[in-house]
Chain A
């Protein structure tokens, strides 16, 4: 059974508007929650993370929110730019070994 779910395979947003990407998880055995961004023909690159003891982390245009009671993670991008068009993976880091479990990804398209 999937431990990490990204239920939206794709999202299309107008340039300048907010992009909201969502991720749900099923158990609490994670200490950090991460977002990776992936362009075609490249490896994923780390974008932003949040500790399990926080509920918000902000870095420029990117903000990650963690709702532990709902087991829900979201990434907000404001304002969205065409260069943000990529696949976004949420990844959860296990408390023991620190291995990552990835969601299936959401393909974001930002239209000019």
Chain B
């Protein structure tokens, strides 16, 4: 099992450019998440998905769009990048059986470091 993988690992964009970050998981997890982490800040939820074909907004959704066309993939898009979107982006997935247990937790990818000039 590769777990959660993210592509690319690093990217530099110019203001106004667009790009898509890809997250893939091979654990057959239902839920997937996109977070951003900025210096001195915790992880903040951008968007999440509770299953294939569904998406929902998190704490900081503005400037981002997402799609979950396949259960194993969760894409994060930036249509017109801004310097304020310079950050490290983490994807996570979660199995969730509906019975809230201690094992119902999130597994994270290694992150994508994005710089917008």
The residues of A with any CB-CB pair to B shorter than 8 Å are 4, 6, 9, 31-32, 34, 36, 41-46, 49-51, 89, 97-100, 102-105
Contact = CB atoms under 8 A, between A and B. Distances in A.
Contacts of A105: 42
17 contacts: A31-B100, A42-B111, A43-B4, A43-B90, A43-B111, A46-B106, A46-B107, A49-B102, A50-B102, A51-B102, A89-B42, A98-B31, A98-B100, A99-B58, A102-B42, A102-B44, A105-B42
Interface of B: 4, 31, 33, 40-45, 48, 50, 58, 90, 92, 94, 96, 100, 102, 104-111
Nearest to A36: B108
B110 to A, nearest CB: 5
A58 B90 CA distance: 28
Contacts of B41: 104
B42 A4 contact: yes
Contacts of B96: 98
A104 B48 contact: no
Given A41-B110, A43-B111, A98 B40 contact: no
Given A32-B100, A98-B100, A98-B104, A43 B42 contact: no
Question: Which of B31, B48, B100 has the most A CB atoms < 10 Å from its CB?
Answer: B100
B43 A44 contact: yes
Contacts of B105: 34, 46, 49
